[in-house]
Amino acid sequence: MRKRTHLKRGARRKAEVLAAFADYLLKNGMLDLSLRPAASALRTSPRMLVYYFGSKERLLLAAIEEVRARERARFGRDIQRRRFGGSVAGDVWLMWRWFSGKSREPYLRLFYELYARAASRPRDFKHLLDLVSEGYLSLMTEGLVSWGFPRTEARAHATMYLATFRGLLLDLLTTGERRRVDAAVRVLAANLEAALLKRRPALGGVHPVPPSLRSSLTSQD
């Protein structure tokens, strides 16, 4: 009984440390990340961090996954409150406003720091980046398949739009020029709608969110 209680306390403490480290990462980023100042901020020791997670790399991986899980949960909650089902361009705009919201800046800054590290050290960080990005790519691919694209073509288009979104988010994050970047997003959204309507012209200007995309919006990141 005592052993079970001890294990529960250990698991609870590990979860608390992980949540606190994820907060620390969102606030301070990955630049010059060291266990000693992190442990001090979390009111623990580097030895305990290693005890709980095995290594700095495993702790970082767990924290990135924790941040990702938070974003996934918030995405599901927030998207359910938004009124999709109008034009494709309008729906893309709603998505953009969520992705580019002010409250997401810490997450975006961490993501782009991770992205830069993955570019310079792909063996060490690419798997972390894949954790963050694959869900969005799958979501966009399924949406395009539901809207009439063959799967292979849908994945290519999803890759293009996801990369464009990333570039626009980075532009907004580094320049703060909301009006200019928003205008570019509206052009992107209009181009996507035009491409879809060429395939299914009977839909006219209104293009309801397909069921497969609706379920993806509420279950994936």
- What is the residue extent of each domain of the chain? 65-219
**pLDDT of res. 82:** 63
Q: How far is CA 84 from CA 45, 100, 210, in A?
A: 48, 17, 10
CB 147 within 8 A of CB 211: no
How many Cα atoms are found within 13 Å in the side-chain-facing hemisphere of 166?
Answer: 16
If you search the block for the tokens 């999709």, which residue do you land on?
Answer: 84
**pLDDT of res. 95:** 82
Q: What is the DSSP letter of 208?
A: P
In order along its 221 residues, the chain shows pLDDT tens digits of 555 554 567 788 888 888 988 998 998 888 777 888 888 888 888 888 888 888 888 888 888 889 988 888 887 777 667 665 567 788 788 889 888 999 899 999 988 888 888 777 777 776 766 666 667 788 788 877 877 778 888 899 889 988 999 999 999 999 999 999 999 999 999 988 888 777 665 444 444 444 444 454 444 43
* Burial of 147 (C-beta count, 10 Å sphere; 0-12/13-18/19+): buried
Q: What pTM was estimated for this model as a whole?
A: 0.76
**pLDDT of res. 64:** 86
Angle at 118 between CA 116 and CA 119, to 5 degrees: 65
